[in-house]
Amino acid sequence: MSNRKPATIAVRTGIESDTQHHAVVPPIYLSTNYGFPAFGEVPTYDYTRSGNPNRGLLETALYELESGKGAVVTNCGTSALNLWVSAFLGPEDTIIAPHDCYGGTYRLFNTRAQKGDFKVNFVDQSDEQAFDAALEQKPKLILLETPSNPLVRVVDIAAVCEKAKKVGALVAVDNTFLTPVYQKPLELGADFVIHSTTKYINGHSDVIGGVVITKTEEHAEELAWWGNCIGATGTPFDSYMTLRGIRTLGARMRVHEESSQQILDFLKPQPLVKVIYHPSLPEHPGHEIAKKQQSGFGSMLSFEFAGSFEQLKYFVGELELFSLAESLGGVESLICHPASMTHRAMGEEALAEAGVSQQLLRLSVGLEDAQDLIDDLAQAFEKASAFKG
């Protein structure tokens, strides 16, 4: 049912599929192995590393949500990225990745490239000249991450895919920040979508998981083979939990976004807020592209704190409804200081190059009441401005 909307796919996938007891919610199958019906007759599922009913349902939900043809659910987002490069890259092949990509992705590609597994070229993908120069190396794969972390920079997916086709490169988009509710990369020309399902897809900060979704059945088969070969696949219990989280994806994404818009309006006139980064703002460099390729602006935002560094630390400490923690996309609101937390491994020079300053704070706006969140920010700003540290 390809014309169904994401919220419907998210709720209905697998409902009433149990033929034994007619359980409305699909049951969980923890068994590691499945009997062969007869000698030489291979069942749909034989061993859980290669396949399992719960993982199968989650894969169906995810590829239908992204309008793909297949998917492989992995044990984390990082292993989804690792599976993808393992399947398609050899020692002579090159991958182009964003210079400001997720820190773990940077570490993974960099480390494997140093071992000679493949070549990697980290490029500022918003710099057209740099990107075109990188394409001349005839890369086999291109990874996009849009919007990026933590400055929510936006890259034109359709434009990159068109250029990629001309040099025969395959494109994957890390769609973790927007989910298929707000962005459908396969419809814009991408060949793969990758998620850390740990974030919005599961949405409750209680499962680590990932997925690679493919535009073609052939790629899905190839990735499934590799997923089994290298042992990257997700567990039945995690799959069950993640599908449970997906049930509310449409409703969650809507409230995340509504609340983040209210918080943006509150932040704009704050004297302790210097620059705000969010694609919904007309002055954001990616605003027009975001309007074109996204159906919502998403709810990850960051801002430069205008006070002293001591005041910033005090502000963060006074917040009651924003937990100081990494990760994002859960029901609970989080605040993160990228320079000392998620991006601390980058080193000062790389941080400066990526535009991540010591004054930058990132918010993952959760599903608490928006006015309560604003009141909490207001009281912490007030205390911080009176603080003489």
Residues annotated as part of the active site: 49, 102, 174, 199
Q: How far is the CB of 366 from ligand PLP (least distance, A)?
A: 16
Nearer to ligand PLP, 198 or 311 (CB): 198
CB-CB contact of 374 with 366 (8 Å):
no
Cα dihedral angle (359, 365, 370, 376), rounded to 10 degrees?
A: -40
* Span 35-54, contacts to ligand PLP by CB under 6 A: none
Q: Cα separation of 131 and 161, whole Å?
A: 12
Contact segment (CB under 6 A) with ligand PLP among 72-80, 162-170, 226-234, 364-372 equals 72-80
**102 contributes a contact to ligand PLP by CB under 6 A:** yes
Options 13, 146, 198, 260; binder of ligand PLP; rule CB under 6 A? 198
**107 contributes a contact to ligand PLP by CB under 6 A:** no
Nearer to ligand PLP, 64 or 145 (CB): 145
Options 208, 212, 213, 249; binder of ligand PLP; rule CB under 6 A? 208
Options 9, 10, 72, 76; binder of ligand PLP; rule CB under 6 A? 76
CB-CB contact of 283 with 47 (8 Å):
no
Q: Is 354 helix (H, G, I), strand (E, B) or coil?
A: helix
Contact segment (CB under 6 A) with ligand PLP among 51-59, 76-84, 250-258, 295-303 equals 76-84
Q: How does DSSP assign 113-147, residue by residue?
A: HHTTS-EEEEE-TT-HHHHHHHHTT--SEEEEESS
* Span 114-143, contacts to ligand PLP by CB under 6 A: none
Nearer to ligand PLP, 65 or 108 (CB): 108
Tokens 């990629």: give the residue.
164
Q: How far is the CB of 178 from ligand PLP (least distance, A)?
A: 10
Total residues contacting ligand PLP by CB under 6 A comes to 15
**238 contributes a contact to ligand PLP by CB under 6 A:** no
What's the angle, vertex CA 255, arms to CA 249 and CA 259, rounded to 5? Answer: 145
Q: Cα separation of 375 and 378, whole Å?
A: 5
Q: Is 70 helix (H, G, I), strand (E, B) or coil?
A: strand
Options 121, 196, 214, 259; binder of ligand PLP; rule CB under 6 A? 196
**105 contributes a contact to ligand PLP by CB under 6 A:** yes
Q: How many of the other CB atoms lie within 10 Å of CB of 211?
A: 28
**210 contributes a contact to ligand PLP by CB under 6 A:** yes
* Span 144-183, contacts to ligand PLP by CB under 6 A: 145, 149, 174, 176
Contact segment (CB under 6 A) with ligand PLP among 8-16, 99-107, 241-249, 258-266 equals 99-107
CB-CB contact of 250 with 181 (8 Å):
yes
The tally of CA atoms less than 13 A away on the side-chain side of residue 265 is: 7
**302 contributes a contact to ligand PLP by CB under 6 A:** no
Nearer to ligand PLP, 337 or 381 (CB): 337
In the chain, alpha helices (H): 6-12, 53-65, 77-88, 103-114, 128-135, 157-167, 179-182, 217-230, 236-246, 249-267, 287-293, 309-318, 348-354, 370-386
Contact segment (CB under 6 A) with ligand PLP among 32-40, 71-79, 160-168, 300-308 equals 71-79
Q: Cα separation of 338 and 300, whole Å?
A: 13
Question: Footprint of ligand PLP on this chain (CB under 6 A)?
Answer: 76-78, 102, 104-105, 145, 149, 174, 176, 196, 198-199, 208, 210
